[in-house]
Amino acid sequence: MTSEVPSLPKFSELNLIEPLLKGLDEVGYETPSPIQALTIPLVLDGRDVLGQAQTGTGKTAAFALPLLSKLDLQQKDPQVLVLAPTRELAIQVAEAFQKYAKYLKGFHVAPIYGGQDYSGQLRMLRRGAHVVVGTPGRVMDHMRKGTLKLGNLKCLVLDEADEMLRMGFIDDVEWVLDQLPEQRQIALFSATMPTAIRRIANNYLREPEHVTIKVKTTTAETIRQRYWTVSGMHKLDALPRIL
């Protein structure tokens, strides 16, 4: 499946629940991006998804909106786990879930990542979190300590999987995958598909639907671009000279 969507539907035509549509309408979202239009119905249908898409294509909403639509808000154990390569992305994704779930009463999301005090994370997990967004190392820590229980997990999302590979987290990711319940859904998103990511997709995803979004260059032809390659230590010296 590719990014060729004949005509994009409206969010209201994608079977999302009413509280989400109310929130999207409030922030002025009407028409989904191609990755959202293609991915939302697949995730709602419980399919495994292998998505190839760059940052900035709208993939967070592509998985967050359908997963929020399927939550059982009475069930306090985590139903969705999102693994992200950096704390910045984990925070960003958690904030997106919170924003989309504005009208979902009682919804809780818990961001957990390294460099943050354990006590706050433990409070969030004890209170109950429908969605947990975290970096692989800290997620593993909580799972080993028994403070993050995934027995009722419905879906795992691997966000920016190639970045997790580049940063050396791939063994941690596979360890987490090996602990998941037998019946679960997986959505894997990656800008590129190196061999290690394809291996994970082949080993853990079940008959996944492939969604590929080709990004067009958006720089205007009237803009001239130049770059100067410098080592990290000289970036600050180089910047004022170029400016």
Specify the amino acid at residue 226. R
CB-based burial label for 171 (10 Å; 0-12, 13-18, 19+): exposed
DSSP state of 210: E
In Å, how far are 131, 140, 151, 172, 206 from 148, measured between CA atoms? Answer: 11, 9, 9, 15, 25
Q: What is the pTM of this model?
A: 0.86
Rounded to 5 degrees, φ, ψ at 133 are -120, 125
- DSSP symbol at 222: T
Helices (H), the chain: 18-26, 34-44, 59-69, 87-100, 118-127, 136-145, 161-166, 170-178, 195-204, 235-242
Q: What fold, for 11-242?
A: Rossmann fold (3.40.50)
Q: Write down the domain spans for the chain.
A: 11-242
The 10s digit of each residue's pLDDT in 130-170 is 999 999 999 999 999 999 999 999 999 999 999 999 999 99
Q: Read off the pLDDT of residues 97-135 as tens digits, 9 standing for 90 and up.
A: 999 999 999 999 999 999 888 999 999 999 999 999 999
pLDDT digit string (tens) for 202-227? 999 999 999 998 766 556 667 777 77
Is 38:208 a contact under the CB 8 Å cutoff?
A: no
